Chain A
Amino acid sequence: MGIYSDADLQAIWLSLKLASLVTLLLMFIGTPIAWWLARSRSRWKAIISALVALPLVLPPSVLGFYLLVAMGSNGPIGELTNALGIGTLAFSFPGLVVGSVIYSLPFVVQPIQNAIEGLGKRPLEVAATLRATPWDTFFSVVLPLAKPGFITAAILGFAHTVGEFGVVLMIGGNIPGETQVVSVQIYEHVEAIEYQQAHALSATMLVFSFVVLTFLYSFNKHARGSSMWGAQK
């Protein structure tokens, strides 16, 4: 692949590694949050919803700045990681993972939350009257019926993490092999007036994003027809 330099390939690999790990973590973290938001009538719901949605509206630099401060030696996260003997997370791959999880959270939580809300409470009630425990109900009823929402969440979480720039720059800097992901690498090329290289990576990102979104929309179109429960509500 002559059009990519070794550093470019390393950046692509790092982006994919980061996005995969973040997506995996987000599915575990986002699902219970989405479940709670979909089912709860607590007065905390509005506050939690707002917190989850903050990354949608905040400039990435603001988010990145506060994460940087929090992760520094004197910040709450920094003190915790220091106490645990991990050192600080700023300018490291694990730090990037933490930042990305927060940054992409709404993109995972909201599709899952919508899918669970779309199911309504009836399937859950039916499962309970058929002696299914709550865990059993989640795996045998919620997961299969809300599958389109979970798949959408995973794809959006992945794609959004790949496309992240501002937060990475703020908390990760630009360390090859550690925090230098594709979006930062493109910036680097442009700064160095290497437009050819920037073109290669940018076009790759463009095609990737387009393919992902096309897949997502065609998948959702199919899924809608099969979800009778959503249609009845």
Chain B
Amino acid sequence: MPIRAKILLKRGDFTLDVNVDIPDRGVTVFYGHSGAGKTSLLRCIAGLEIANNAQVIFKGETWQDDNRFLPVHKRPLGYIFQEASLFEHLTAQQNLDYALKRADKNKPVFNYQHAVELLGIGSLLQRYPAQLSGGERQRIAIARALLVNPQVLLMDEPLASLDEARKQEILPYLEKIKRDLHIPILYVSHSPDEVARLADHLLALKDGKVVADGPIGDLLSRLDFPIKLGEEAGVVLDAHISEKNSQWHLSKITIAGGELWFRDNGLPIGEQVRVRILARDISLALEKPTDSSIVNCLCVEVVACEADDHPALQLVKLKVSDSVLLARVTSLSAEKLGILPGKKIWALIKSVAIVQ
């Protein structure tokens, strides 16, 4: 049963006006630029922000409507704030105990040992928050949110206050949680990288309104995706590792309709992965090049072609079997190659990133 959120929130000039059903499984990313209303929407769902007019129904239970407002502390949710929000007067261990003591005892989603191991915080537990790095604090805060036994996990840009190195430190933990946790996760982000790595479902917001809503694969491959991604435009595909070549240290991944070689990163054969291919990393050619350094060439069909942000560039939507790719080429090349819907063409893929 989806999570219903119908929210009207007015704060000065800003109006958040949203009416959505959020899937009850997987990670739904609230995506948009800052000021789009992502965090406000999350806070309204949690009950931290009281909307002027709202209907929030979680698994058939009304959290808020015209006659009812379930206080935050009675909602079965876990919440992770943007900046580490540990209680400064308690050690890491006591912070976790705080959650355990008040947790919903009926249905543990995560036991204590599992949470501690998953987030690698065993050695940090005796320290006070002031003695922990930003990344360490955020890991404790995530563990604490899990230990309260939530039925839904709300994360408000948990990486935004961290530097790039710390982000890369935390992201794998988030991916593990996504894999191990069978409750829906609502995740606020303005980072295309985080979207690519974590999202199953995307809810794009702009100026307080939902401008796109759907599975990640479908949305990112849209040429008219309403929020400009610029250099980050690209697709996310589900794939699995199908072969290894030890001589050249390469792994082969199979996507629907093709195979791609990429640098071996130690994942075993059969592993399900998610790959991200950016539009700027795909070139197009009429013939299969035989004298190029590019390893990955796929024969694809042009689906559509549209002007990109800059008049010199075109964004081309390509299809091979069920997989959709986006390529960015210059308008000049598009003209020269005669790129039109239906045309068979070769896609030269310079780079593939395994994101999961």
Contacts and interface: CB of A to CB of B under 8 A. Distances in A.
Interface of A: 122-123, 125-134, 136, 140-141, 144-145, 226-229, 232
Contacts of A228: 88, 129-130
A131 B74 CA distance: 6
B79 A129 contact: yes
B223 to A, nearest CB: 39
A227 B88 contact: yes
Q: Chain A at the B interface: mostly helix, strand, loop or mixed?
A: helix
Contacts of B79: 125-126, 129
Contacts of B78: 129
Interface string B97-112: 0110011100000000
B47 to A, nearest CB: 8
A129 B145 contact: yes
Nearest to B71: A128
A232 to B, nearest CB: 8
Contacts of B73: 127-134
Q: Chain B at the A interface: mostly helix, strand, loop or mixed?
A: mixed
B87 interface: yes
B57 to A, nearest CB: 19
Interchain residue pairs A-B with the least CB separation, the first 3? A129-B79, A128-B72, A131-B102
A125 B79 CA distance: 9
A145 B88 contact: yes
Interface string B309-349: 00000000000000000000000000000000000000000
Contacts of A227: 88
Given A122-B85, A123-B87, A144-B89, A130 B71 contact: no
A206 B24 CA distance: 68
Contact of B87 (A128, A133, A141, A232): A141
A229 B83 CA distance: 11
23 contacts: A123-B87, A125-B48, A125-B72, A125-B79, A125-B81, A126-B87, A129-B48, A129-B73, A129-B148, A130-B98, A130-B99, A130-B102, A130-B144, A130-B145, A130-B148, A131-B102, A132-B73, A132-B102, A133-B73, A140-B98, A227-B88, A228-B88, A228-B130
